[in-house]
A and B are shown apart, each in its own frame.
Chain A
Amino acid sequence: MTDEFQNGVAAGRSERRHGDGLVPSMIGALEPPPLPETGPRPAAQKVSPEELALIERIRAGERELFMELVRPYQKIVYSMAVSILKSEQDAEDVAQEALFKAFKNLAQFRGECKFSTWIIQITVNEARHRLRRANRAALGSIDAGIESDEGDYIPIDLADWREIPSEALQRKELRECLHRAIGTLKPIYRDVLVLRDVQHMSVAETAEMLKISEASVKTRLLRARLQVRDALAPGIDGSWNVGSTTYKRVRSF
């Protein structure tokens, strides 16, 4: 059994100030109610009692309940996979493989981290494994720590960017450009961005998952956010805004 399944991640307090994008089960997991004093696994403090009970039943042989356990996380798993692989088909395969590995290794889940954290870790490992097998160009900097975090990032331009109404994301062009912008990031920056801003993990959780310092998480996150901003910033034309009749391609692709 590999460490990826045995290690719980010391999940810190969520630093997000809003619940946007969090699925209900994750919101509940942020501040779980106190566990009973005599639970089946005393170490479990990050998992809700309902989830823990479900896990125990699956371990006891009710295998069909696994889908109920992972259904709230399917989208998280998929989004993690697609953000790493940049391919919907590959992401689908990896999501399926990651979930199956989670099933096979459920006995190794010790409840020392949130179940979502554990399953995301499996997904990240599986997606990276697939990238390595495919020997893609991105392989070079995939291992955290190879590239220095040193060096400041200078924004390309400082043009104003109007506020984006949430409806703007309904536009397929914007979603696709967002995916491409994330895809252009070097993996060490992309991983941090996805964990922090897509999966809404805390700095501490992200650092633990990627085995880097919290300072590195912050440095990489800064660079990632600014690079995506540069890739997407449409300038003062405000073409992302709903109501605009023209779509202006962003400058990086």
Chain B
Amino acid sequence: MEKGGGPQAMLEGKTIVEISCFEVWRRISDFVDDDVEPGLKERLEFHFGRCKHCKALLDGTRNVITLIGDEHAFDIPRGASERITSALLRRIEEDGQDEHRE
């Protein structure tokens, strides 16, 4: 596992405090959701630029989110929508008749 070559590194004249792959794994989901503080985001981006393993994990996590969030991931099977609708309409109608009788 890559450690980034030391506790600190320089990026465009700025000192970046490096973090371990282990710490990256803990925050990778928040990073994908853009829910990390700016300083940490910079360190994570720096790490992803140098660690192919964590970059692969990042890409895979994003792929999972893309797949799960795709509107076709949970399509209603053919005919199911019609069955649900017709059954619901029938129950609503029956419920109305029951209320009317009461």
Contacts and interface: CB of A to CB of B under 8 A. Distances in A.
| Chain B interface residue number, banded | 35 or more
Contact of A158 (B56, B64, B74): B56
Given A99-B84, A161-B59, A15 B33 contact: yes
A163 B55 CA distance: 12
A199 B59 CA distance: 21
- Listed residue (B59, B64, B67) with the most chain A CB atoms within 10 angstroms of its CB: B64
Contacts of A159: 56
Interface string A124-163: 0000000000000000000000000000111100111111
A163 B88 CA distance: 41
A67 B89 contact: yes
B84 A218 contact: no
Interface string A209-241: 000000000100110011011001100000000
A104 B70 contact: no
Contact of B74 (A17, A64, A75, A166): A75
Contacts of A17: 34
A74 B84 contact: yes
B24 to A, nearest CB: 11
Contacts of B84: 74, 78, 92, 95-96, 99
- Listed residue (B25, B60, B75) with the most chain A CB atoms within 10 angstroms of its CB: B60
A10 interface: no
A21 interface: yes
22 contacts: A21-B70, A21-B71, A67-B89, A74-B84, A78-B74, A88-B80, A96-B87, A96-B91, A99-B84, A103-B92, A155-B25, A158-B53, A158-B56, A160-B56, A169-B70, A182-B68, A197-B64, A203-B35, A218-B29, A225-B64, A229-B63, A233-B60
Closest 9 CB pairs between A and B? A79-B74, A222-B29, A158-B53, A161-B60, A160-B56, A197-B68, A229-B60, A21-B71, A21-B69
